[in-house]
Structure 1
Amino acid sequence: MLLNFFKQYFVLDDTDNDSHHSSRFRISALRILLSVSLLAILGFTSSSLIEFDASDESVLFVSLGILYTLIVALLLIVSRRFHEFAAIALASLIAVTGALFIGFSNTNDGVEFGVIALYSLPLIVRLFYSFKASLCFSIANIATLGIDLYLAQSQDFKTGSGTLYMQLMLFALLNFGLPLSVSRLLKTLQMSIDSHKELAENINHQSELYEEIFEHTGTPTLLCDKRGVVLKLNQKALDLFPNVSADTIEGTKINDWIASTSDASSRFFWQKNVSECVLKSNSKNFLEVHRSSLTTHGHYVLHLQDITHLRALTEELETTQQTNSRLAHFDSLTRLPNHQNFCNQVNHRIRNVSDYYTGAMFIIRISQFKLLNKQYGREQSNKVILNFSRTLQARLSDKTISGRLRGVKFACFMPVGQTYLIQRNLRTLIKSVLPEQIRIGEDILNIDYQIGVAYYQNEGETAEELLERCEMALEYSTSAERIAFFDQQLEAKLIQEHKLGLALGDAIKNKQIQIWLQPQVVSSGEIRSFEALARWRLDDGSYVSPIVFIRLAEELGLLPKLAENLLKQLVSVLEAWHQESIKTPIAFNLAGQELMNDVFFALLMSMTSERPWLSEMLELEITETSPVMTNPLIHKRLRALSQYGYSIAIDDFGTGQASMGQLIDIPANILKIDRRFVAPLPDDKRHLDIVKSTIQLARSLNMSVIAEGIETREQANLLISLGCDTLQGYYFGKPSPISDWTENNNEKAKQLRMVY
């Protein structure tokens, strides 16, 4: 306690080595000097009191001792707060004391004490002030040296301060030697302090820099020693432990807060490069610990990465991958194998049989499903598919492989014995497994199917080939015979149609399909108009029936392009006839698919706008047998063409889609009676009644009537008598190339004669 008190009182502790170190040094030196001086004066005063004899000299010494004691004690008291004043006062007191002893002392010791007191001033001044101030006092003491030498030579002070040599040595030592040495020492100490201060500032700067880097690593970071004791952690790491302070964690082991999930038995998981862990306070919070070694200190820097969301995403991804894998192999609605999975299973079954193996592959397509979808909605229609698949699965044997191909197509592959190789037996088997009725809510629906069947007889076919054959057979199923079997003739026919389709595409591209014209005459036999007919001649000189290639073009989506080529060819002829004042119109057939095509319709409208006369020379015949003729867009475009002045005829009336409804929806002014009603005339009374009623219907609607397919005079006279306006058929003229009517400057077209 006493030692600490003296350290604090004399400012001897070095704990506060800051920018105020100079002041602390001066205060410490001042207090030491004042304390020592006070002790010396107290000793002098005490001695004077002991030797006191009531003489004037004793009174003077005691009085001076008491005065000096009070002055030094006062300076010692104020030295803490007013150390500069105390230092000046101390130097002044020594200077005055020295001068008084030199001036008034009658003894050599008194003079010597005064000289030494003055000689000590440069050293004392140097302790509290600069070297220049000390040097000034040193120079001033030259006068003190002179006085001392003078007194030494005087008669009263022969022994004085000793020899001249000793006087000079004492002067040099006290005025220059010690002050210079102390100055050098103080300078060195000051440089050392400045150097340490700069070094401390650099260390503090580096420490702050490292602290900032550690705090802003971007990840939660811990610093721990080899034993796993946490030495430090940044704020991000502290955020992982809510309601816990840094002091609580620092000094504890990392195992107290984090547990390994990858290796639960490892106590030193944090020494691994990477380790997956979990917070002990929250088992749902997952971390990934990345270790870095600090080789200088042997400590570890641990970067903690919160992987809770990443782990959740990984689990979700795994679930998604499992779902995608299931979707990639199974139908999402029925859970039946999809096309690829079904083929893989069938191929695996075929490859892994060792004995003679027979089987049947068949595709089931639910008929009229689009109507069900439209009537009941998608959700209810999906229930139909689901109920059908479940019923089918329940009725099939365990050895049967089934799957959903697409839409309402299902495929089955079943092993069959020799009995079922007979088509009627296999047909019976297939019908037995198909549900005839499906319930939707309270409704019970009768279900119709179209089925294509192909046999497998251990001939090396693959599932893909069998499905392709089933598809071929399916295309030839009808409403009367819903189960169609594949055979070689069917395949040959389909291959031939495929080749014909390729050739048709080339023919349309190269504009090889030409227009032929067949006359349409009035009752007098004069040609009223023509019907444009398409003819396709092959390279071998043979012709393909229009019924065949028009149907094929419609199936392949080539009909709009074909119609575009024929229309351009026809319009060029009509343009020439218009210039020659030939006013005979030509009827052009449209199957509906062309009018649905935006490009073709735009072409027709642009031709009409560029040639206002075209609507008078071009008649449009709408093939009523086309299913698309019921489409509202067709009706809208036909009304637009009618407003432009086109005559519109309904071709093949009575044989197609909703005949009576077409008379309302289509703005037609011509009705054509199909050849199938004309051919039996005049002998068939039933057909005669149909023709009569059709003509009467047309008359009631202010429509003209054209009868086609007339081949005899009797048919012609009968139809004329019934009031038919226009007649067409081989009796009046067969179709001929359009060149027959345009050659020799349209000579034949100008004549417009018909010979009976």
Structure 2
Amino acid sequence: MFIDSLKNYFFVDSDQTFGRNQKALQQSALRILLALTICIFAISEVHSFFILTETSLFGMNSLFLCILVGLLFFSKKYTQISASLFIITLLTTSSLLLTLNDELNAQKYALISLYSLPLITRLLFSFKVSLVTMLANIFPFYLITSENLISSQANIAVSFYFQLLTFITLNVGLPLAVSRIIYTLENNASRMRGFYRKLNQNYALYEEFFENTGTPTLLCDQRGRLIKVNQLARDLLAHSKQNKLADTRMSDWLSPLGDSGKFFWQSNTAECTLKQNKDVHIEIRRASLTKHGHYVLHLQNTTQLRAIQQELETSQQTNTRLAHFDLLTLLPNNRHFCRQVNQKFKEQESHLTGAMFIIRICQFKLLNKQYGKDNANKIILNFSKSLQKKLSDQAIIGRLRGVKFACFVPLGQAYLIQKNLSTLIHSVLPRQINIDGSMLNMEYQVGIAYYHTDGSTAEELLEHCEMALEYSTSTDRLSYYNHNLENKLIEEHELGLKLSAAIKNKELSIWLQPQVSPNGQIRSFEALARWNDGKRFIPPTTFIKVAEDLGLLPSLAENLLRELVTTLSVWNKEHIHTPIAFNLAGQELMNDAFFALLMSLISDNPWLNKMLELEITETSSVMTNPLIHKRLRSLSQYGISIAIDDFGTGQASLGQLIDIPANILKIDRRFIEPLPGDQRHIEIVKSTIQMAESLNMKVIAEGVETREQANLLASLGCHTLQGYYFGKPAPLSDWTARDNEKAKELRMVY
């Protein structure tokens, strides 16, 4: 115990790497040197007390001894100061012995002390201090050799060479050798610190990789002793934090199944159960065998998978049956559902009546993204179970694909009425589904067709249900099939093919409708798309809707915009400064290629910011998209005027005034039509105009058809009017014919 105390006192922080705690090294060296010096002075004190008679030397010795003891006491707190005082004490003692004492031995001891100072200063301070001490010792060397030369001529050579050897060995050789050793140790320590940092970095990377493999992973030796376990594996094996995994074995936590054997962790794969809970099944997969003979194992909780597999195995008797049913819900698939329904038709053909309907879960894409694939499958599974529970045993239910389910329900006469059938369907559809303890609100779309009336086979009824499903809306989610729907779908399909070809061949044309002041002077035009398919003019409301559904609006807008810019280029050269407004429904601005074309045309033709206006159809649902707002702000920065079309009928009328950098507001025709007889509409129009004026926005009223409407709007502050009263849309060629003669007459030529 005493020896350990001495070791801890003199070898301060002996476990520290050299250079990591240089102060501890200096403190340890100082204590050892002080302790040795105290011992020498103590022995000298005892010797002086019993043998010497000179009291002055005894008192000086006692003084130095007290100083050394004090330095040893304060060496921990004031290491540098104590070291400096120790050097001064040694220097003072040696100098006094060398100058005041005539004894030869005392002088030798003094010289040895002085010659030892470079070595001591190297241990306690830096190499530079040691070098200064070496140079300073030249003086006592010179002093002692000169005295010897004078006093003793007989042994001049012997004395001189002895002094020189002592001086070089103690004053130069040993300090330099020790400095070399310390330098080497410092370099080695520096390299070791570098290696240590790299080792720590590699270890941290290994720890991070091991902890974030994404699967429960552990490392064990050949006997199954756990060496390292990541957090996922800890959570899987030890459900309680009180259970420690350290110094345990694989067999303490897992029990092998089948013929995995005693050393099951050495197999490529092994099936096990938790010892704490036999119902939890764990699959072990050996990832690799390390150079040290350790095993890297991945664990997987297969409890739920085994339960599903067991449920499937018990419900499916043959491989043929597997081909007829959906694996998740165990409901008949599309083919087997049709087979069952057609079989029912054959068995009860004479008196059977019923309805076929397809159910589609509306928000499933959002649910799939929000809750993940596994929970989304649980939603489908719970929905199918709820449907089977609520429908009668006579009903046939199948899963067609994805989130579509088909049902055939035999009906009595009362349910042949659509109102009663709608009530029945609503009653069997679960409004909420439990998913991991949370109640999830469900929304559906349903397409319905009657047996006999709408089809006589399951395949025909399903096809008609699909058609009806396409026409279900957010307000009317139950849609019944009728022949008009089918004809309408066919017509829309044919119209879409014709429209696609017409856009490709640039067969759609631009018509212009004037926008005028109350006195009839034309201020600007609105460009309108018109399409004649060779037989008749197709109404814009019809072909624009088809183009939007088929994603053809960007191509259509590109053709019309190029033609319009060509005309505006001519007008600009002819100094016809009449702006033309161009309609965009939102789908075009979402298209990167069209937006790039628009920005390129504006950049190449700077005058377009005064000749081209953009009308944004507010009724388009995509107009609330942040990307469109960003692109409209970019156009506004180029000086392009932006108008909000059909104001008051769209997605968020007041919100658009904030999000869209518009400077023109167009009042929809539905607010103008009742004027001037409807006071309520007058107030709405008046407040809209006042609001626009407060926002420094121009106002254009659409659908003006009478003089009374024009006068009223002018009196309310609306100074730009558009409608049949002033002029119907006319082909662009009417305004550009004969060198733009008609266009020049409408406005002053500058």
TM-score, with length taken from structure 1: 0.54
Q: Residue 674 of structure 1 aligns with which residue?
A: 668
Q: Distance in 1 between matches of 2:744 and 2:397?
A: 68
2:359 match: secondary structure: strand
Residue 654 (str. 1) matches residue 651 (str. 2): no
Q: Which of 369, 390, 399 does residue 395 from structure 1 map onto? A: 390
Inter-CA distance 337–603: structure 2 relative to 1 (3 Å threshold)? farther
- Pairwise CA distance, 1:646: 0.9
Name the structure 2 match of 1:603: 597
Counterpart residue number, 2:497: 502
Aligned counterpart in structure 2 of residue 476 of structure 1, from 468, 471, 477: 471
Give the corresponding residue for 1:582: 576
1 CA distance for matches of 2:447 and 2:631? Answer: 39
Match of residue 685, structure 2, among 679, 687, 691: 691
Give distance in 2, aligned partners of 1:408 and 1:394. Answer: 18
Residues 1:486 and 2:481 are matched in the alignment: yes
C-alpha distance 637-535 of structure 1, shift in aligned 2 (>3 A): same
Which residue of 2 is the match for residue 410 of structure 1?
405
- Aligned partner of 1:636 in structure 2 is 630
Gap runs ≥5 in structure 2? 1-258, 268-305
Q: Which of the numbers 398, 402, 417 marks the counterpart of 1:422?
A: 417
Q: How far is the alpha carbon of 1:331 from its aligned partner?
A: 5.1
Q: Alpha carbons of 1:727 and 1:372: their partners in 2 closer, same or farther (altered >3 Å)?
A: farther
Q: List aligned pairs for 1:329-340, cutoff 5 A.
A: 334-340=329-335
2:594 maps to amino acid: F
Report if aligned partners of 2:432, 2:440 keep a CA contact under 8 Å in 1: yes
Please state how far the C-alpha of 1:337 moved relative to its aligned partner.
4.1
Paired with 2:543 and 2:650, the residues of 1 have a C-alpha distance of 19
Give the direction of change, closer, same or farther, for the CA distance of 1:460–1:478 in structure 2 (3 Å limit): closer
2:360 maps to 365
Instruction: Using the TM superposition, give the Cα deviation of residue 524 of structure 1 relative to its aligned residue in structure 2, in angstroms.
Output: 3.5
The equivalent residue for 1:741 is 735
**1:627 alignment partner, one of 599, 612, 621:** 621
Scaled by the length of structure 2, the TM-score of the pair is 0.54
State the Cα distance separating 1:446 from its structure 2 match. Answer: 5.2
Letter in structure 1 aligned against 2:670: R
Greater Cα offset, 408-417 or 524-533: 408-417
Q: Does 2:430 match 1:435?
A: yes
Contact 2:532 2:538 in 1 (8 A): yes
* Worse-matched range after superposition: 631-640 or 447-456: 447-456
SS at match of 1:705: strand
Shift of 1:447: 4.1
C-alpha contact 1:357 1:457 (8 A) present in aligned 2: no
* 1:534 corresponding residue in structure 2: 529
- What percentage of aligned pairs have identical amino acids? 69
Alignment partners' CA distance in 1, 2:698 and 2:326: 56
Q: Secondary structure at the match of 1:656?
A: coil
SS in 2 for 1:702: coil
Q: In the superposition, relative to structure 1, how do residues 456 and 385 fare at CA in structure 2: closer, same or farther (>3 Å)?
A: same
Match of 2:698 among 697, 704, 715: 704
1:437-460 deviation digits (Å, cap 9, x = unpaired): 445667656544332111222987
- Alignment-derived partner of residue 271 in structure 1: none
User: What value does the CA root-mean-square deviation take over the aligned residues?
Assistant: 3.7
**Alpha carbons of 1:738 and 1:451: their partners in 2 closer, same or farther (altered >3 Å)?**
same
Aligned-pair distance for 1:624? Answer: 0.8
Q: 1:507 to 1:457 in 2, by over 3 A?
A: same
Match of 1:716 among 705, 710, 719: 710
Q: Is the Cα contact below 8 Å between 1:588 and 1:621 reproduced in 2?
A: yes
Q: Which AA in structure 1 matches 2:563?
A: Q
Query: Partners in 2 of 1:350 and 1:607 — Cα distance?
Result: 64
Pairing of 1:49-60 with structure 2 (within 5 A)? none
TM superposition shift of 1:493: 2.1
The residue that corresponds to 2:448 in the other structure is 453
CA contact 2:433–2:442 (8 Å) conserved in 1 = yes
User: Which SS does the other structure have where 1:420 is aligned?
Assistant: helix
Native 8 Å contact 2:578 2:747 kept in 1: no
CA deviation map 1:477-530 (0-9, x unaligned) = 345543221112222222222222222222212211111100011234211110
Gap change, CA 1:368 and 1:526, over 3 Å in 2 = farther
Inter-CA distance 466–585: structure 2 relative to 1 (3 Å threshold): same
SS in 2 for 1:402: strand
Query: What does residue range 80-479 of structure 1 map to in structure 2 within 5 Å?
Result: 334-347=329-342, 349-350=344-345, 355=350, 357-367=352-362, 384-439=379-434, 444=439, 447-457=442-452, 461-479=456-474
**Deviation, structure 1 residue 585:** 0.9
| SS of residue in 1 equivalent to 2:507 | coil
Identify the residue that residue 551 of structure 2 maps to in structure 1: 557
Cα distance in 2 for residues equivalent to 1:492 and 1:531: 34
Matching of residue 645 in structure 1 with residue 639 in structure 2: yes
User: C-alpha separation between the residues in 2 aligned to 1:633 and 1:330?
Assistant: 45
Partner of 1:68: none
Question: Is the 8 Å Cα contact of residues 510 and 732 (structure 2) preserved in structure 1?
Answer: yes
Deviation at 1:676, TM superposition (A): 0.5
Deviation at 1:607, TM superposition (A): 1.6
Question: Residues of 2 paired with 1:521 and 1:591: CA distance?
Answer: 24
CA contact (8 A) 1:357 1:458 kept: no
Tell me: CA distance 1:579–1:361, structure 2 relative to 1, closer, same or farther (3 Å): same
* Residue 553 of structure 1, CA deviation: 0.8
Is this contact kept in 2: 1:453–1:483, CA < 8 A? Answer: yes
* 1:556 Cα deviation from its structure 2 partner: 1.2
* Cα deviation, residue 352, structure 1: 6.1
Alignment partners' CA distance in 2, 1:636 and 1:655: 23
Partner of 2:12: none
After superposition, the C-alpha distances for 1:714-742 in whole angstroms (9 at most, x for unaligned) are: 11111111111311111111101111101
Distance 1:452 1:616, change over 3 A: same
Deviations 1:614-668 (A, max 9, x none): 2221111111111111111111111111112111111111111112211111111
Distance (whole Å) between structure 2 residues aligned to residue 340 and residue 605 of structure 1: 53
Q: Show the counterpart of 2:512.
A: 517
Which letter does structure 1 place at the counterpart of 2:382? N
Q: CA–CA distance in 2 between the matches of 1:483 and 1:578?
A: 55
Q: Deviations over 1:99-130 (max 9, x none)?
A: xxxxxxxxxxxxxxxxxxxxxxxxxxxxxxxx
User: Alpha-carbon deviations, 1:186-244, whole Å to 9, x = none?
Assistant: xxxxxxxxxxxxxxxxxxxxxxxxxxxxxxxxxxxxxxxxxxxxxxxxxxxxxxxxxxx
Distance in 2 of aligned mates of 1:325 and 1:634:
53
SS at match of 1:681: coil
Provide the secondary structure at the position in 2 that maps to 1:490: helix
Aligned to 1:157: none
Distance 1:682 1:369 in 2: 49
Shift, 1:581, TM fit: 1.2
Deviates more, 1:662-671 or 1:424-433: 424-433
AA aligned to 1:635 is H
Check whether the contact 1:358–1:458 (CA below 8 A) recurs between aligned residues: no
Q: Kindly state the Cα deviation for residue 369 of structure 1 after the two structures are TM-superposed.
A: 5.5
Query: Structure 1 residues 380 and 681, CA, compared in 2 at 3 Å: closer, same or farther?
Result: farther
Q: Partner residue of 1:566?
A: 560
The within-5 A match list for 1:21-40 is none
Q: Is the 8 A contact 1:619 1:648 kept in 2?
A: yes
